[in-house]
Amino acid sequence: MPNASKVSRAPAWLSHIWHLPDGMRWMDPLPAPHRRGIIAAVVVILLAFLWPAPSPQRVPVTPLQSGSEGTEVPLQATIADDLPQDNSQGDSRGQWHNYTIASGQTLAQLFRDNNLPVNDVFAMAQVEGSDKPLSTLNAGQKVRIRQNAAGVVTGLTLESASGEILFTRQADGSFIRAR
Cβ-based burial of 167 (10 A; exposed 0-12, middle 13-18, buried ≥19): buried
pLDDT computed for residue 45 by the predictor: 92
Higher pLDDT, 82 or 2: 2
pLDDT computed for residue 60 by the predictor: 61
pLDDT computed for residue 23 by the predictor: 75
pLDDT computed for residue 31 by the predictor: 85
Encode pLDDT of 50-80 as tens digits.
988 777 666 565 555 555 454 444 444 444 4
Among residues 86, 83, 84, 93, which one has the least CA distance to residue 146?
93
Encode pLDDT of 143-174 as tens digits.
899 988 888 889 989 887 778 888 888 888 88
Encode pLDDT of 78-132 as tens digits.
444 444 444 444 456 688 899 888 888 888 888 888 888 888 888 888 888 888 8
Which strands, in side-by-side order, build the sheet including 142-147? 89-91, 94-100, 142-147, 153-160, 163-169, 175-177
Q: Is the pLDDT of residue 22 over 80?
A: no
* Rounded Cα gap, residues 159 and 140, in angstroms: 10
Higher pLDDT, 21 or 8: 21
Q: Is the pLDDT of residue 1 over 60?
A: no
Other residues' Cβ atoms within 10 Å of the Cβ of residue 111:
21
Cβ-based burial of 15 (10 A; exposed 0-12, middle 13-18, buried ≥19): exposed
Q: What is the model's pTM?
A: 0.48
Dihedral angle over CA of 66, 151, 139, 131, nearest 10: 160
Q: What is the DSSP code (8-state) at residue 161?
A: T
Beta partners for 50?
none
* Rounded Cα gap, residues 8 and 68, in angstroms: 67
Encode pLDDT of 26-36 as tens digits.
777 888 888 88
For 17-61, the DSSP string reads HHTGGGG-GGGTTS-HHHHHHHHHHHHHHHHHHHSPPPPPPP---
Q: Which helix (H) or strand (E) is 104 found in, with range?
A: none
* Rounded Cα gap, residues 8 and 13, in angstroms: 9
* Rounded Cα gap, residues 120 and 156, in angstroms: 10
